[in-house]
């Protein structure tokens, strides 16, 4: 049996074993409104999650091959949902919540568009996204989890519009952005005589816009 016939047989078995309510749209398998898996052979380069979808099982889209992903406001991004999607280059997110490790180790991700309305970004949500160069957090973001952007090796610019979040990040910047280029490239802040050097000393604040720029 050649490889192509084997894969077709395997896919047929998978489809036959799906829940009664399951349907496949653009290669994504839905059980009602919830993503439960995918068929890599049907995933388009640009994947748009439909408005009826409300969420997905943990790691249900792990390794999915789309290059561009668009997520609506109605969708809750669960833990590790899009983990290790190695072809993913661009993500647009309107969801309120981005759970922990949602996009962990998406190594080609270089464009991240977070729409106004995003409120929480979980721990390690974008950790090890090694191609990501800049991040803009809209004013709606009120919570940033530990290590949210850890080990993003190309990350040079971070802009935060929420004044309260600015203060929180400033108090412990290394906790959110460890092992990123700007932490070692920015000049240290001047400090008063006798003051010890803080761990988060390398950043600058735009006082007019209340935006942190690293």
Residue 176 CB partners (closer than 8 Å, separation 6+): 144, 145, 146, 147, 148, 149, 150, 169
What was the pLDDT predicted at 132?
Answer: 97
Report the alpha-carbon angle 72-96-45, nearest 5: 35
Query: Edge-to-edge strand order for the sheet containing 211-213?
Result: 134-137, 157-160, 211-213, 204-206
Set out the domains of the chain in order of their start, with CATH numbers: 20-188+198-213 (3.80.10.10)
Q: What is the pTM of this model?
A: 0.79
Structure tokens at 94: 């309107």
Q: Is 77 within 8 Å of 97 (Cβ atoms)?
A: yes
Instruction: For the chain of 214 residues, list the mean pLDDT of each consecutive stretch of 10.
Output: 61 56 94 97 98 97 98 96 98 97 98 97 97 96 96 92 88 87 54 45 42 46
Coil, helix or strand at residue 211: strand
Residue 183 CB partners (closer than 8 Å, separation 6+): 173, 174, 177, 202, 214
Coil, helix or strand at residue 34: strand
What was the pLDDT predicted at 12?
Answer: 60
Structure tokens at 120: 């929480």
Calpha distance 84→163 (Å, rounded)? 32
Residue 41 CB partners (closer than 8 Å, separation 6+): 7, 11, 27
Give residue 105's region: left, alpha or beta (phi > 0; psi -120 to 50).
Answer: left
What was the pLDDT predicted at 169?
Answer: 85
């Amino acid at each position: 049996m050649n490889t192509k016939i084997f894969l077709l047989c395997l896919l047929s078995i998978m489809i036959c074993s799906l829940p009664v309510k399951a349907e496949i749209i653009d290669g994504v398998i839905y059980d009602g409104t919830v993503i439960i898996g995918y068929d890599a052979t049907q995933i388009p380069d640009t994947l748009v999650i439909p408005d009826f979808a409300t969420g997905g099982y943990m790691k249900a889209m792990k390794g999915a091959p789309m290059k561009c992903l668009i997520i609506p406001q109605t969708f809750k991004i669960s833990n590790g949902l899009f983990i290790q999607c190695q072809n993913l280059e661009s993500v647009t997110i309107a969801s309120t919540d981005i759970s922990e490790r949602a996009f962990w180790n998406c190594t080609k991700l270089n464009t991240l568009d977070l729409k106004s309305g995003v409120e929480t970004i979980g721990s390690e949500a974008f950790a090890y996204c090694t191609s990501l160069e800049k991040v803009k957090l809209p004013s709606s973001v009120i919570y940033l989890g530990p290590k949210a952007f850890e080990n993003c090796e190309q990350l040079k610019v971070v802009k935060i519009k929420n004044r309260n979040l600015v203060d929180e990040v400033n108090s412990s910047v290394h906790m959110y952005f460890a092992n990123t280029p700007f932490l070692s490239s920015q000049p240290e802040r001047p400090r008063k005589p006798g003051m010890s050097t803080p761990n988060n000393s390398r950043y600058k604040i735009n006082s007019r816009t209340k935006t942190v720029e690293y």
